[in-house]
Amino acid sequence: MAKERARRWTESFFTDTYRRVGLETRWERAAEEVAAVKKVLRLKKGERVLDLGCGIGRHSIALAKLGLSVTGLDLVARKIGVR
């Protein structure tokens, strides 16, 4: 029941409009955001990171570019084109 409720919420929130509005800006900021996370957590190249609620993967991709091994998981990944 909770899983179905979560799916309904995510499907109504993460629409095509969500993807279009401000997505470019969010991609640009991802590298800066993950650099700060990497520093605070003292992550080293090759360490494993789990990105829960990864969406389209902007943070996962930026983390991988920093040399981290990343697994992303999201309820709506298939809906927004990430497999």
Is residue 6 scored above 60 in pLDDT? no
Express each pLDDT in 27-81 by its tens digit: 778 999 999 999 999 999 999 999 998 888 889 999 999 999 999 988 765 544 4
- Give the pLDDT of residue 34: 94
Express each pLDDT in 19-29 by its tens digit: 666 566 677 78
Is residue 4 scored above 60 in pLDDT? yes
Residue matched to tokens 């800006």: 25
Structural domain of residue 13, as residue ranges?
2-73
Q: Is 64 contained in some domain? A: yes
Q: Is 79 contained in some domain? A: no
- Give strand ranges (E) for 1-83: 48-52, 69-73
Q: Is 44 contained in some domain? A: yes
CA angle 24, 51, 32 (to 5 degrees): 45
* pTM summary value: 0.68
Give the CATH number for residue 31: 3.40.50.150
Residue 42 and residue 19 in contact, taking contact as beta carbons nearer than 8 Å: no
Q: Please tell me the total count of domains within the chain.
A: 1
Residue matched to tokens 């095509």: 16
